């Protein structure tokens, strides 16, 4: 036990004294999570609304597909983005491989399934009369979408929090796409990996883990509050 205690005693000052490396990691991590969640909301909400409100053929199949993408290993998403962004790849001209931009793209791709799959679920959970009534009263597509989003807002917020959480905790895709470069595109989670495996620097790894856990706990707290208000079940899961 003495060993753990020693490591912890060295780790705490790193957090309290605001170590530059850890502050920078936290900042990069939050930026990645914010960009990924915003990107996923911008792309995913229209798709989620179409799946939740639309009455076209194949809607059900698309929804099953969206749910299935939630189960795909993040590392595969990472590999896919890497192959696209390598100089010889389709988007090679952008020179995104091993940059923060590639990390943004990969994390947006990984956050997308949460929004696309969970938004329709939240909309379909609304009282059935509500949207039908709005339709009967002549609401157009834009009005209907706004109404659905407003009524299902707790579900959509929960989906966004889940997406944010994965972006914080994910390592596989970040490491593959960004190369886990210190002081550049390393996130808290991928820094833990490199501090342990490459440097055996346990106090740093511990300090970073504590910061990451703190962020995740805030999210879990938010999600629990939303859950109690929304009366639905959504478990937060990290990869």
**Which residues are at the interface with other proteins (CB under 8 A)?**
1, 3-4, 7, 68, 71-76, 78-79, 82-84, 86, 88-90, 92, 165, 168-169, 171-172, 175-176, 179, 189-190, 192-193, 196-197, 202, 205-206, 209, 212-213, 216-217, 219-220, 224, 233, 235-239
Instruction: Closer to other proteins by CB, 47 or 84: give it.
Output: 84
**Closer CB to other proteins, residue 134 or residue 239?**
239
Shortest Cβ 28–other proteins spacing (Å): 15
Cβ distance to other proteins smaller for residue 133 or 224: 224
Is 129 exposed, middle or buried, given 0-12, 13-18 or 19+ CB atoms closer than 10 A? exposed
Question: Closer CB to other proteins, residue 160 or residue 176?
Answer: 176
Q: Distance (Å, rounded) from C-alpha 33 to C-alpha 95?
A: 22
Q: In the complex, what is the shortest distance from the CB of residue 225 to other proteins, in angstroms, rounded to a whole number?
A: 12
Q: Are 236 and 220 in contact (CB under 8 A)?
A: yes
In whole angstroms, what is the distance from residue 77 CA to residue 224 CA?
28
Nearest Cα residue to 104 out of 42, 50, 153: 42
CA distance 10 to 24: 19
Beta-strand runs (E) in 62-190: none
* 59: its two tokens: 């809607």
Closer by beta carbon to other proteins, 15 or else 139 = 15
Helix-helix angle 20-53:100-124, to 10 degrees: 40
Least CB distance from residue 4 to other proteins, whole Å?
A: 6
Nearer to other proteins, 147 or 158 (CB): 158
Q: How far is the CB of 151 from other proteins (least distance, A)?
A: 25
Q: What are phi and psi of 184, to 5 degrees?
A: -130, -80
C-alpha triplet 157, 161, 167: angle, nearest 5°: 145
């Amino acid at each position: 036990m003495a060993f753990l205690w020693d490591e912890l005693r060295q780790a705490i000052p790193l957090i309290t004294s605001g170590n530059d490396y850890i502050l920078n990691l936290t900042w990069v991590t939050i930026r990645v999570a914010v960009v990924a969640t915003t990107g996923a909301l911008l792309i995913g909400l229209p798709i989620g609304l179409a799946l939740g409100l639309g009455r076209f053929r194949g809607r059900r199949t698309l929804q099953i597909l969206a749910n299935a993408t939630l189960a795909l290993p993040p590392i595969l998403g990472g590999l896919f983005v890497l192959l696209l962004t390598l100089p010889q790849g389709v988007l090679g001209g952008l020179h995104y491989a091993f940059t923060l931009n590639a990390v943004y793209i990969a994390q947006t791709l990984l956050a997308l399934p949460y929004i696309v799959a969970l938004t329709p679920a939240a909309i379909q959970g609304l009282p059935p009369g509500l949207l039908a009534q709005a339709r009967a009263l002549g609401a157009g597509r834009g009005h209907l979408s706004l109404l659905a989003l407003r009524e299902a807002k707790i579900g959509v917020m929960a989906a966004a929090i889940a997406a944010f959480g994965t972006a914080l905790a994910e390592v596989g895709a970040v490491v593959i796409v960004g190369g886990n470069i210190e002081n550049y595109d390393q996130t808290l989670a991928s820094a833990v990996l490199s501090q342990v495996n490459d440097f055996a620097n346990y106090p740093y790894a511990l300090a970073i883990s504590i910061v990451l856990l703190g962020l995740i706990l805030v999210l879990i707290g938010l999600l629990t509050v939303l859950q109690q208000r929304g009366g639905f079940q959504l478990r937060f899961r990290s990869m």
